[in-house]
């Protein structure tokens, strides 16, 4: 078995992308999760780039114990010295030094001759070995470099002590077949290549970073530079989750190649990065996007319900996603609709009732992008049963501030009686919901809470959607208001009323013997 070394550069190349900068504390938090994920090498930053980057590399070095901690450095003694100093506390450390090797870079950026570049590369590797035996050398813009010159550079740096030689497609110019051939050519034309690991660093300017990385692996590369969610300079880098899952899912193609990644931590790592950077993953993103395991088309939904592998090549839980999601919309079929009714607890409906509700559902779905559980429950209650009395909100009052303990008072009308309760909490919303629960006489477990703006401006309408577990029954609710606390209280109460309606409905059906 051949292990593919996963070199994560989320904290270095990933952070260089506009909008993805992180504080030292955030980098440490992310590094701890990357270590939990099972990443082999964590490139913590570019120590010589700024005092903040130096501090981050140093802090990660002090924290991470299992993964190798790495710092980037230009082929300059001053850069390498900074990297070595920042990495000093690391139990396992690597210096990653680089210099450009393509004609366009040597002429216009470096203003150096090919021989000067080789001399500088060798000198850098030798100097880096004063700080660690684990030295990686990158030939920047390797794909656009002249092949014979590239072979000479790699042979020289390996002789100088580089244990890893990295082949970057710096500008994302390569096509998979070409890039795979380059790796094969390096294996066949660098005499001492058996003394080093071949690594690749692919950019996504043509959307081919993952494809190029996999082609390289197939042709002998045994380390891949990747980032979480594929973030990075310009269009980004090869996405860790895509490279890793391709290797795992297509064992038939990649034969004896494996990674040490704990794939069940992938989704959690992706979401952590989103929270830290304030970014989001596009819904159709492979592996970690919201739609990656979601199905709306009726044919797909029927297939998934009958046998998962009809339309899914991996299990959602394999990457840490709780479960596949059947999304109800205008393309959904009767099988998916019936399955959702049963999931919601409505298992006593006749076929005629299901058919009638499905017809109403399809009309509703033509008007909405997505039909939520509360929409389905509204159909059931409006069409089949509505003999319960809803709990009504009369008013709520919240006291909060940066020097005050948040506390709330809620007044509701329940079973013809008015009930007032108060409670404190971790914040104004938490205190308000706790007061509401005391008034309702039930404690729910909040499973999901989402906010979205329905309009623009300072007085924008906000919608809150909650999913709550009441005594083992999952119920969802929505509330809207220009006040987000009010929207939250309304949503929670809506969820409770739907739970109450379902409970009353089921009890009546049981009493009627249906």
First-to-final CA distance of the chain: 59
Q: What tokens were used for 42?
A: 């964590």
Q: Is 13 annotated as a binding residue?
A: yes
Contacts of residue 140, defined as CB under 8 A and 6 or more positions apart, other chains included, come to 98, 99, 100, 101, 102, 105, 168, 170
**β-pair type (5-8, 223-226):** parallel
Q: Which residue has the tokens 């996007």?
A: 289
Nearest residue to 152 via CA among 165, 135, 169, 168: 165
Q: How far apart are CA 189 and CA 146, in angstroms?
A: 13
The rounded distance, in Å, linking the Cα atoms of 458 and 48 is: 43
Eight-class DSSP state of 266: H
Q: Concatenate the DSSP letters of all residues of 354-367 into one string.
A: HHHHHHHHHHHHTT
Tokens 């064992």: give the residue.
Answer: 251
* CA–CA separation, 51 and 46 (whole Å): 10
Print the SS3 string covering 284-346.
CCCCCCCCCCEECCHHHHHHHHHCHHHCCCCCHHHHCCCCCEECCCCCCCHHHHHHHHHHCCC
Closest CA to 386 of 504, 507, 496: 504
Greatest alpha-carbon pair distance for the chain in Å reads 91
Q: Please report, for the chain, how many H helices and E strands are present, in that order.
A: 17, 18
Residue 203 among known ligand-binding residues? yes
CA dist., res. 489 & res. 493, Å (int)? 6
CA angle 351, 352, 355 (to 5 degrees): 85
Cα 268 to Cα 277: distance, rounded to the nearest angstrom: 14
Phi, psi for 175 (deg, rounded to 5): -105, 140
Residue of 208, 196, 142, 206 whose CA lies nearest to 169: 142
Planar angle of CA 67, 73, 74, nearest 5 degrees: 155
CA angle 291/293/297 to nearest 5° reads 75
Q: What residues form DSSP beta bridges with 223?
A: 5, 199
Residue 307 in marked binding region? no
CA atoms within 13 A on the CB side of 106: 19
- Give rounded-to-5 percent helix, strand, coil for the chain: 45, 20, 30
Say whether 201 counts as a known binding-site residue.
yes
Mark the binding-site residues, compressed into ranges.
13, 201, 203, 237
Mark the binding-site residues for Mn(2+), compressed into ranges.
13, 201, 203, 237
């Amino acid at each position: 078995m051949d292990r593919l070394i996963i070199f994560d550069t989320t904290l270095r190349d990933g952070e260089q992308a506009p909008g993805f900068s992180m504080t030292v504390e955030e980098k440490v938090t992310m590094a701890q999760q990357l270590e939990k994920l099972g990443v082999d090498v964590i490139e913590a930053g570019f120590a010589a780039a700024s005092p903040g980057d130096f501090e981050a590399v140093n802090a990660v070095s002090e924290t991470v114990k299992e993964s190798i901690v790495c710092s980037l450095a230009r082929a300059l003694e001053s850069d390498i010295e900074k990297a070595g100093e920042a990495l000093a506390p690391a139990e396992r450390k690597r210096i990653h030094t680089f210099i450009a090797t393509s004609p366009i870079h040597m002429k216009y950026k470096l203003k150096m001759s090919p021989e000067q570049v080789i001399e500088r590369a060798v000198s850098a590797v030798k100097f880096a070995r004063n700080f660690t035996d684990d030295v990686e050398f990158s030939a920047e813009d390797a794909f656009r470099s002249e092949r014979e010159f590239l072979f000479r550079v790699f042979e020289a740096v390996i002789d100088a002590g580089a244990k890893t030689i990295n082949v970057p497609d710096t500008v994302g110019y390569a096509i998979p077949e070409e890039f795979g051939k380059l790796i094969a050519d390096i294996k066949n034309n660098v005499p001492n290549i058996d003394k080093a690991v071949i690594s690749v660093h692919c950019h996504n300017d043509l959307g081919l970073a993952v494809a190029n990385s996999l082609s390289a692996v197939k042709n002998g590369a045994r380390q891949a530079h990747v980032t979480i969610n594929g973030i990075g300079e310009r269009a980004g880098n090869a996405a860790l989750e895509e490279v890793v899952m391709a290797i795992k899912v297509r064992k038939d193609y990649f034969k004896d190649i494996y990674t040490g990644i704990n794939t069940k931590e992938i989704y959690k790592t992706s979401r952590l990065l989103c929270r830290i950077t304030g970014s989001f993953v596009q819904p159709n993103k492979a592996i970690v996007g919201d739609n990656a395991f979601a199905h709306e088309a009726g044919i797909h939904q029927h297939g998934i319900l009958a046998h998962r592998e009809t339309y899914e090549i991996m299990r959602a839980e394999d990457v840490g996603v709780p479960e596949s999601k059947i999304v109800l919309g205008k393309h959904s079929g009767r099988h998916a609709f019936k399955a959702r009714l049963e999931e919601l607890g409505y298992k006593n409906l006749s076929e005629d009732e299901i058919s009638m509700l499905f017809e109403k559902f399809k009309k509703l779905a033509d008007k909405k992008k997505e039909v939520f559980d509360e929409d389905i429950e509204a159909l059931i209650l409006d069409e089949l049963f509505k003999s319960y009395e809803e709990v009504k909100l009369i008013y709520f009052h919240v006291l909060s501030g940066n020097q005050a303990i948040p506390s709330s008072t809620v007044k509701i009308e329940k079973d013809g009686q008015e009930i007032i309760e108060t409670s404190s909490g971790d914040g104004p919303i938490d205190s308000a919901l706790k007061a509401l629960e005391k008034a309702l006489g039930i404690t729910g477990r909040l499973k999901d809470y989402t906010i979205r703006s329905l309009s623009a401006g300072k007085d924008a309408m906000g919608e809150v959607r909650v999913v709550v577990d009441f005594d083992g029954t999952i119920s969802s609710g929505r509330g809207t208001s220009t006040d987000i606390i009010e929207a939250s209280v309304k949503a929670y109460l809506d969820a409770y009323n739907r739970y109450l309606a379902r409970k009353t409905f089921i009890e009546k059906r049981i009493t009627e013997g249906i």
